[in-house]
Amino acid sequence: MRSAPLPRRRTLLGAAAMAATTAALPSAAAHAAGADRTDREHGADATAGLPSDAEVAEQVRAEYLHGWEGYKRVAWGYDEARPVSGGRDDFFAKGHTFGLSIVEALDTLWLMEQDEEVRLAADWIEEHLDPVVDAEIQVFEAVIRLVGGLLAGYLCTGRTKLLDRCRELADRLLPAFTRSPSHLPYRYVNLRTGAVSGSVSPLAEVGTNAVEFGLLSRLTGDGRYWSAAKRAARAVVTRRSSLDLLGTELDIESGRWTDTHAIEPNPPVDSFYEYLWDGGELLDDADLRGWYRMLTDAVLKYQAERRDGALWFRQVDFGTGKTTGHDQSELASFYAGLLGKGGDLAAGRDYYRSWTGLLDRYQLLPEVVDYASGQVRSARNDLRPEYANSAFDLWRLTGADEYRQTAYRYFQAVRARHKVPGGYTVAEDVTTSPVRLGDLMPGYWFAENLKYLYLMFAAAPRFDYRTGLLSTEGKLVRGAVRS
């Protein structure tokens, strides 16, 4: 995955990325006490009660539009904005744009009832998004962001050209699957020539496609996408260890694991599990559901670990179950919601509290911690959405106010620290005061964080709260209510 380095050793990050913070992590219960001195320094009062739902929804929408206007000002038509310098970033390939932030924003703008912006975004996509560029594209990112974004855009607006464009793009991605002797997709494909490359691929990248490809097959009646995705998932599951654990990376050509590290729910394996559950749910597929259950039982049995009342997931050797590390990436915090959705609600709620404890300690989640030593291994914060994603999932499952309270605190902290005149930006180090900021507004910022928050407070008339389903990239793949 793009921003999560691949673990070639037993840790997730190299020594250069490690920060010096080593104090023990707070217990799960400690978060309630959170002194939040730094919060007050930054003007965010984390202990205050919530404003009314309508007020919070309006605050969230205003911040979303602040970022969106910032993007439009300096990077319209380009993938991502650099909100501090006023520059822009090509996400997929240097010199080529897919208007990534526009595709990422489309369904969020629609849910927020910003219809003029929706029209602008959909027009741009129809006129400019070129799915046939002569460049090597990362298949995983193209599927979850572009294919997913176009599908959601189509479901929300009913504009059939979005579905046509989606299909053209998916056709260009298919060689990554069909040219593979193992059915596990290659990492990269040249959209013009169909040449494939990247013969070693992490688990999340080979197996995060069932939702988008399954839905595309349903909408078009063309089964090729779904069968490619299902074959890839099956190819992984048949390679599980005798403990029902999975490794981290696979050789696409030989079909063999290149390592024996079970690192769930960390990247780069995270969303593989998510798509077994989401895919099973969306496509009503008993195999995906069964695989999810079997593999999750093994994760809970061999990797779950309680320390000072907090639940974490250790890294183990997939053949022996022997512990190999205690890193926990911020991206893994999505797993709290997934556990809840998959039927392990008590574990999901506990894991969420572990992350809330960490949030209360640092106000913003660092990218990687070692929960055993208390060391912050990467102090970055890439404006990631996973904690808010779990708050949303667990709130929908339980209705408990804990999730809206903590999600609002998260929102206040992000607004107080990551907001700049040009939008929102990543942070290089969240352990310094003030936080040291970077210069990038990632595409997923428009797809995820504020969408989850908005839906928790807005009683959004365009979202079916009973059946609604969001993909790993926060795309609305079921439950768009069109009048």
Binding site for ligand DMJ (CB under 6 A): 144, 271, 331, 384-385, 444, 472-473
Q: In angstroms, rounded to a whole number, what is the distance separating the alpha carbons of residues 334 and 366?
A: 15
Amino acid letter, 436: R
Contact predicate 319/243, CB 8 Å:
yes
Find the shortest distance in angstroms from Cβ 281 to ligand DMJ: 16
Comparison of 28 and 206: residue with beta carbon closer to ligand DMJ = 206
Comparison of 409 and 451: residue with beta carbon closer to ligand DMJ = 451
Cis ω for the linkage preceding 265 (within 30 of 0): yes
Find the shortest distance in angstroms from Cβ 43 to ligand DMJ: 26
HSE-up of residue 265 (Cα within 13 Å, Cβ side): 26
Which helix (H) or strand (E) segment is 102 a member of? helix 100-111
Find the shortest distance in angstroms from Cβ 149 to ligand DMJ: 11
Find the shortest distance in angstroms from Cβ 88 to ligand DMJ: 19
Contact predicate 279/237, CB 8 Å:
no
Find the shortest distance in angstroms from Cβ 461 to ligand DMJ: 26
Comparison of 28 and 81: residue with beta carbon closer to ligand DMJ = 81
Take residue 235 and report the two structure tokens written for it: 């190819």
Find the shortest distance in angstroms from Cβ 3 to ligand DMJ: 7
Comparison of 363 and 472: residue with beta carbon closer to ligand DMJ = 472
Comparison of 138 and 296: residue with beta carbon closer to ligand DMJ = 138
Q: Look-up: residue for tokens 């106010």?
A: 401
Amino acid letter, 213: F
Find the shortest distance in angstroms from Cβ 424 to ligand DMJ: 14
Q: Is 225 helix (H, G, I), strand (E, B) or coil?
A: helix
Comparison of 266 and 354: residue with beta carbon closer to ligand DMJ = 266
Take residue 442 and report the two structure tokens written for it: 């990632």
Comparison of 269 and 458: residue with beta carbon closer to ligand DMJ = 269
Find the shortest distance in angstroms from Cβ 195 to ligand DMJ: 25
Q: Is 33 helix (H, G, I), strand (E, B) or coil?
A: helix
Q: Give every CB contact of residue 51 below 8 A, 6+ residues apart in sequence.
A: 59
Comparison of 39 and 270: residue with beta carbon closer to ligand DMJ = 270
Find the shortest distance in angstroms from Cβ 470 to ligand DMJ: 10
Distance of CA 7 to CAs 104, 329, 415, 418, Å? 28, 12, 32, 28
With CA atoms as reference, report the closest residue to 438 among 428, 447, 448, 429.
428
Q: In angstroms, rounded to a whole number, what is the distance separating the alpha carbons of residues 15 and 7?
A: 12
Comparison of 28 and 100: residue with beta carbon closer to ligand DMJ = 100
Rounded to the nearest 10°, the torsion over CA 168, 173, 175, 180 is -160
Comparison of 362 and 444: residue with beta carbon closer to ligand DMJ = 444
Find the shortest distance in angstroms from Cβ 274 to ligand DMJ: 7
Please provide residue 27's backbone torsions phi and psi, each rounded to the nearest 5 degrees: -75, 165
Q: Is 326 helix (H, G, I), strand (E, B) or coil?
A: coil
Backbone φ/ψ region at 221: left (φ over 0), alpha (ψ -120 to 50), beta: left
